[in-house]
A and B are shown apart, each in its own frame.
Chain A
């Protein structure tokens, strides 16, 4: 093994969004040395794009709220395939995690009596989301970043991990490259936390940034950890659809929380046409009742626009398919109408939704205080991910932890808006705490030099391929583009057996094409090379999603099958689990969800 630049940390955190930062802060507070690796500059991670808020039962706005209601809402939203213990911990601990942010300098919007203000969001019974206008993610990441830089954490920016390193079963390090010079870096650590976010870049229309290539999912899987629930991908109902260059960019659910309504091209408020049974008693009967709910009337029930994301997205698809869509293939989202109800509505909208106002004005020439928006579903979040212990966040591999979007369990079949930011905080903290503990109880492991050499060789191969005189190869951009188109078309919002079987064949072909990718230029800050290296992860998660979606022959939450349109009670009792076979292939099995304790099932019953 050649001499690589080598770093040693007690705990290494991979990813610097909300979960990674919170984990690093906690590990550091636990008295161990912490390193953090991030693909971009610090503070640019995907958390920065979160808009609506952080869900926590603070009960500042409605004193009927408490952790039990939040827990029941989360389980109902997840269609009861959630890890109930994670849903419980999340609901119990989220309020403390939010208050802690305030102690670190976060400046949330306020109630009249000076406390943290909370807003309505889909699937949450009471106003529960602590927020700052529609830029809550920025507030959260900046608060964690500005607190974290004083905690003695070593940050390795613009650095991408290629492989986890193991000694036996235990994870003991990571091998990475830095973008600036393209040099390799070797990290040795007693414990490693994956906090790499999601997989949105596997799809063509997505609200996710380029970083979201399923790195943590794939790294963990390749190292031998299990993935669960990968069939559950969340398509956010409201992404921009026009102009083409902004297609997929997120339009916050906060627009609907503030009274925004969905209408089709006949002007009909179609969300009233289909209200699922399990939400009927919680949903408004009239437009007037829905409006009153958004304005804080405690006796009113939520408008159907604030049903869960999976349902709203499917209703939108239904309208579009029936020919009742907008000119550019979406439906209309209207917040301007509230001028019929509120004086100074334009100012109110600009104050409550400043970045949405700005985004539409600048990118689409639309003034949302006067005009309707055109929106459609966009790939937003993956509920599935690395299987972890609910309390410690450790995966099946000793020393490997995961938190945030790349870990699975809390969200079940569908995540409620606002639950991701609180998830990052609650389980980021837990991962940091238990990783630090693990680090204190274990020594540095030995590095497998052969494995490192192999990873380095594979990473540089795309350059070698271009060396030959008649070298004709694939472009990484073309392979990525074709994968995104295929996943969008064949494993998207509405799924079918034959289409997904075709997708699996397609993924096989793309694996072969990825092996022929050539890269031009040198190793210094070369996006062509970075795109080539990301393909392995994208293909791994695409295959995981497709195989799991084939296995779940029912419709539940974010997973909708045209050939099995109903829920299957038997499948509601299992998770789909993926593991790596001895030959490297993806093995799939169903595993029963552990029995929920009676005190928790009682809470669910009481809240029905």
Chain B
């Protein structure tokens, strides 16, 4: 007899839906996405879910497993209690399209509004630049982001308070940090961060850092330093005085 486990999966669209129970056969090393695929192939051909690489590199299969925002492809079943059903539901910070698939198009619209990379003139006559590894370590950490949007999902400003119009969320603060801290970049994004992008909404609960599958230290390395830069730029008393004198 194959070992089996019960999966309680959200089925439905934006308006209606319910949890439905499915039994799947379990084998060594299985991840949650394997169970979803098995159910899809054998019991519910129309069960909607996104996935691509199944190796934690593309960030497509984001969902909430037993209430925790996770990549389904990197969540091993042996890490979960299988004596009760494993619940799998779509991310909550975005509208549901169907089953486990959500409408994440807002993220793509937000990104387009962030000022693009603007490099300084090349350092060498052949059009190339020189950068020291130590100076890019931090930026490379941010550029590990696979855009799974789990940090957006867990952020209470978006998830509970729905401030999507006023706040860009942890993902795009990390994106902005990668640009602002890029040794070659010459653009200034601090005013946008303060005004249109609402960095002040973040009150550093660090939930985003905890769920990041790439282990990016989102809060400490990206959000806090950018908050400090915004404070330096706009709330420094000396700078304020100078601005008053020379508007």
Interface residues of chain A, those whose CB is within 8 Å of chain B, are 40-46, 48-49, 99, 102-105, 107, 109-110, 113-116, 132-133, 135, 137-139, 142, 146-147, 149-150, 157, 180, 209-211, 242-246, 249-250, 355, 358-359, 362-364, 475-478, 481, 519-522, 524-529, 531
**CB-defined contacts of A528 to chain B, threshold 8 Å:** 40, 45-46
Question: Is B54 located at the chain interface by the 8 A CB criterion?
Answer: yes
Contact of A139 among B49, B99, B101, B143 (CB under 8 A): B143
1/0 contact string of B84-102 vs chain A (CB within 8 Å): 0000000000000111010
- Contact yes or no, B116 A146, CB < 8 A: yes
- Contact yes or no, A209 B53, CB < 8 A: yes
- Contact yes or no, B46 A44, CB < 8 A: no
- Contact yes or no, A44 B140, CB < 8 A: no
**CB-defined contacts of A147 to chain B, threshold 8 Å:** 116-117
**CB-defined contacts of A478 to chain B, threshold 8 Å:** 41
Question: Is B239 located at the chain interface by the 8 A CB criterion?
Answer: no
- Contact yes or no, A138 B112, CB < 8 A: no
Question: Is B82 located at the chain interface by the 8 A CB criterion?
Answer: no
Question: Is B201 located at the chain interface by the 8 A CB criterion?
Answer: no
Please give me the residue from chain A that is nearest to B111 by CB atom.
Answer: A149
Q: What is the minimal beta-carbon distance from A501 to any residue of chain B, in angstroms?
A: 29
How far, in whole Å, are A243 and B59 apart by their CA atoms in the complex?
21
- Contact yes or no, A103 B58, CB < 8 A: no
- Contact yes or no, A104 B147, CB < 8 A: no
Question: Is B15 located at the chain interface by the 8 A CB criterion?
Answer: no
Q: What is the minimal beta-carbon distance from A192 to any residue of chain B, in angstroms?
A: 24
Question: Is B64 located at the chain interface by the 8 A CB criterion?
Answer: no
- Contact yes or no, A132 B140, CB < 8 A: yes
How far, in whole Å, are A99 and B54 apart by their CA atoms in the complex?
31
How far, in whole Å, are A528 and B48 apart by their CA atoms in the complex?
9
**CB-defined contacts of A476 to chain B, threshold 8 Å:** 45
Question: Is B16 located at the chain interface by the 8 A CB criterion?
Answer: no
Interface size classification for chain B: 35 or more
Please give me the residue from chain B that is nearest to A99 by CB atom.
Answer: B128
- Contact yes or no, A135 B57, CB < 8 A: yes
How far, in whole Å, are A359 and B147 apart by their CA atoms in the complex?
18
How far, in whole Å, are A605 and B143 apart by their CA atoms in the complex?
42
**CB-defined contacts of B4 to chain A, threshold 8 Å:** none
- Contact yes or no, B74 A363, CB < 8 A: yes
**CB-defined contacts of A41 to chain B, threshold 8 Å:** 50, 60, 104, 108
- Contact yes or no, A527 B46, CB < 8 A: yes
In B197-247, the 8 Å CB interface with A consists of: none
- Contact yes or no, A364 B29, CB < 8 A: yes
How far, in whole Å, are A527 and B97 apart by their CA atoms in the complex?
13
Pick out which of these stretches binds chain A: B131-139, B152-160, B162-170: B131-139
How far, in whole Å, are A362 and B144 apart by their CA atoms in the complex?
17
How far, in whole Å, are A588 and B45 apart by their CA atoms in the complex?
37
- Contact yes or no, B46 A526, CB < 8 A: yes
Choose among A48, A109, A211, A520 the residue with the greatest number of B CB atoms under 10 Å from its CB.
A48
- Contact yes or no, B46 A114, CB < 8 A: no
**CB-defined contacts of A524 to chain B, threshold 8 Å:** 13, 48, 97-98
**CB-defined contacts of B130 to chain A, threshold 8 Å:** 113-115
Contact of B108 among A42, A180, A519, A521 (CB under 8 A): A42
Given contacts A40-B50, A243-B29, A244-B28, contact A110 B136 (CB under 8 A): yes
**CB-defined contacts of B55 to chain A, threshold 8 Å:** 49, 246, 249-250, 359, 363
In B109-135, the 8 Å CB interface with A consists of: 111-112, 116-117, 119, 122, 127-133
- Contact yes or no, A48 B128, CB < 8 A: no
Given contacts A115-B128, A149-B108, 4 further A-B contacts (CB under 8 A): A49-B58, A105-B182, A244-B28, A528-B45
How far, in whole Å, are A520 and B42 apart by their CA atoms in the complex?
12
How far, in whole Å, are A147 and B60 apart by their CA atoms in the complex?
21
- Contact yes or no, A44 B60, CB < 8 A: yes
Q: What is the minimal beta-carbon distance from B236 to any residue of chain A, in angstroms?
A: 29
- Contact yes or no, B131 A210, CB < 8 A: no
**CB-defined contacts of A150 to chain B, threshold 8 Å:** 112, 116
Q: What is the minimal beta-carbon distance from A494 to any residue of chain B, in angstroms?
A: 26
Q: What is the minimal beta-carbon distance from A421 to any residue of chain B, in angstroms?
A: 15
Given contacts A49-B55, A209-B54, A245-B34, contact A43 B128 (CB under 8 A): no
Given contacts A142-B143, A210-B51, contact A48 B58 (CB under 8 A): yes
- Contact yes or no, A526 B48, CB < 8 A: yes
Given contacts A44-B58, A250-B55, A359-B55, contact A243 B48 (CB under 8 A): no
- Contact yes or no, B58 A477, CB < 8 A: no
Please give me the residue from chain A that is nearest to B118 by CB atom.
Answer: A105
**CB-defined contacts of B45 to chain A, threshold 8 Å:** 475-477, 519-521, 526-528, 531
How far, in whole Å, are A440 and B97 apart by their CA atoms in the complex?
39
Contact of A107 among B28, B29, B58, B140 (CB under 8 A): B140
Contact of B47 among A44, A358, A481, A527 (CB under 8 A): A527
How far, in whole Å, are A146 and B132 apart by their CA atoms in the complex?
23
Top 9 closest pairs, chain A to chain B, by CB: A243-B29, A528-B45, A521-B46, A114-B130, A105-B117, A477-B41, A525-B48, A209-B52, A525-B98
Question: Is B66 located at the chain interface by the 8 A CB criterion?
Answer: no
How far, in whole Å, are A109 and B52 apart by their CA atoms in the complex?
27
Q: What is the minimal beta-carbon distance from A222 to any residue of chain B, in angstroms?
A: 25
Contact of B28 among A46, A48, A102, A243 (CB under 8 A): A243
**CB-defined contacts of A146 to chain B, threshold 8 Å:** 111, 116-117
27 contacts between A and B (CB under 8 A): A41-B60, A45-B52, A46-B53, A48-B146, A99-B128, A103-B122, A104-B117, A105-B119, A105-B185, A110-B133, A114-B129, A116-B128, A138-B144, A139-B143, A146-B117, A150-B112, A210-B52, A243-B29, A245-B31, A363-B55, A477-B42, A521-B46, A524-B98, A525-B99, A526-B48, A527-B46, A527-B49
